[in-house]
């Protein structure tokens, strides 16, 4: 992070003709972006939403309401503007990049980028979800995706995912990282009954007991109980740090990937923004562990990058004030100063 650029951005904000701290958390966003870009004179050129789509073998254990075929259906709906994330991207003037990183079936849709690492993960209740090679390849896909977007002049990226069963995967990852019983970090996902939730918790606990993933080794945790979409998102966050691009975290699944990324490289946190707290019970716990505070509280659990995309207009509006509002000297008004 460029401390000089951050100091200049802070000075610029404090000279805008408004009360000190008038923009609240939006000021923190602007100052952090200045640090990321290395200049106080920055703008958001182009905005992108990366949605990584993958299937989870754990679905075989009846931990979801729907089957894996839904992943492909929703992914394809994203490309024709009918899915929620596509509608929000249009409104936010962001470009949507839907990527198959591990769906169980192939798609001939030319608007879906084929970066398939494997045809879904294995059922981690009976065997490890991925090999270490698959984990590393998926992470590389995410890093490469950010590199390509940087080359295309994008400099603000939101994360999204689609994959039936990935709240089970995320809860298993978080339970393993925190060394806690799954009951503390597992929610109903896309609408399980209470009985279904208890079964989901039991499946996760037994899987962790079976594989004994090392909580100090994020690669081992991913291999044992992870998902291809989550591993890919880990790469997106690492790519943000490598290529100095702000990355917006979406909900529980995206936040789980962000936590893993910070366990691999703590500096990745400097390039992340927590946008909202989803209604999944472990989301705030995960964001607290990363050390990031969200600024939207909407009780959403829609996924796909929807919450992160809703934050784009806030970034745009804050930047508009930062770049265009009069300062105290221009309107001949005495500047506010901090008072004791």
Asked if residue 247 lies in contact with residue 150, where contact means CB atoms within 8 angstroms, the answer is: no
Structure tokens at 158: 């939101």
Say how many residues make up the chain. 340
As a whole number of angstroms, the distance between CA 252 and CA 274 comes to: 11
Judging by beta carbons within 10 Å of its beta carbon (0-12, 13-18, 19+), is residue 152 exposed, middle or buried?
Answer: exposed
CA distance 112 to 305: 16
Is there a contact between 150 and 242 (Cβ–Cβ < 8 Å)? no
As a whole number of angstroms, the distance between CA 175 and CA 185 comes to 6
Is 27 a known active-site residue? no
Q: Which of 27, 161, 280, 304 is catalytic?
A: 304
**H-helix segments, 15-120:** 25-37, 69-79, 84-92
Q: How many CB atoms lie within 10 A of CB 184?
A: 14
Rounded CA separation 197/126 (Å): 19
Q: Which residue's entry shows tokens 């503007």?
A: 81
Active-site residues: which are they?
A: 304
């Amino acid at each position: 992070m460029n401390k000089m650029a951050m100091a200049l951005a802070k000075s610029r904000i404090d000279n805008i003709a408004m009360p000190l701290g008038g923009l609240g958390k939006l000021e923190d966003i602007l100052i952090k972006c200045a640090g990321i870009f290395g200049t106080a004179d920055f703008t958001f050129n182009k905005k992108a939403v990366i949605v990584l789509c993958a299937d989870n073998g754990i679905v075989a254990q009846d931990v979801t309401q729907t089957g894996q075929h839904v992943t492909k259906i929703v992914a394809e709906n994203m490309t024709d503007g009918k899915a929620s994330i596509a509608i929000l991207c249009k409104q936010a003037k962001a470009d949507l990049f839907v990527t198959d990183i591990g769906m169980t079936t192939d798609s001939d849709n030319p608007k879906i980028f084929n970066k398939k690492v494997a045809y879904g993960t294995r059922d981690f209740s009976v065997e490890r979800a991925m090999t270490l090679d698959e984990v590393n390849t998926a992470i590389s896909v995410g890093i490469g995706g950010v590199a390509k977007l940087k080359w295309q002049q994008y400099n603000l990226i939101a994360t999204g995912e689609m994959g039936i069963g990935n709240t089970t995967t995320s809860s298993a990852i978080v339970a393993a990282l925190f060394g806690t019983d799954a009951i503390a970090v597992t929610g109903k996902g896309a609408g399980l009954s209470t009985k279904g939730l208890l079964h989901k918790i039991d499946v996760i606990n037994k899987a962790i007991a079976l594989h004994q993933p090392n909580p100090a080794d994020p690669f081992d945790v991913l291999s044992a109980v992870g998902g291809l979409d989550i591993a890919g998102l880990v790469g997106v966050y690492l790519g943000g740090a490598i290529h100095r691009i702000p990355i917006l975290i979406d909900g529980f699944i995206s936040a789980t990937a962000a936590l893993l990324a910070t366990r691999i490289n703590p500096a990745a946190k400097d390039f992340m923004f927590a946008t909202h707290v989803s209604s999944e019970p472990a989301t705030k716990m995960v964001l607290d562990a990363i050390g990031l505070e969200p600024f939207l509280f909407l009780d959403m659990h829609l996924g796909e990058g929807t919450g992160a995309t809703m934050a784009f207009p806030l970034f745009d509006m804050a930047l508009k004030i930062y770049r265009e509002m009069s300062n105290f000297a221009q309107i001949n008004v005495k500047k506010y100063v901090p008072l004791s």
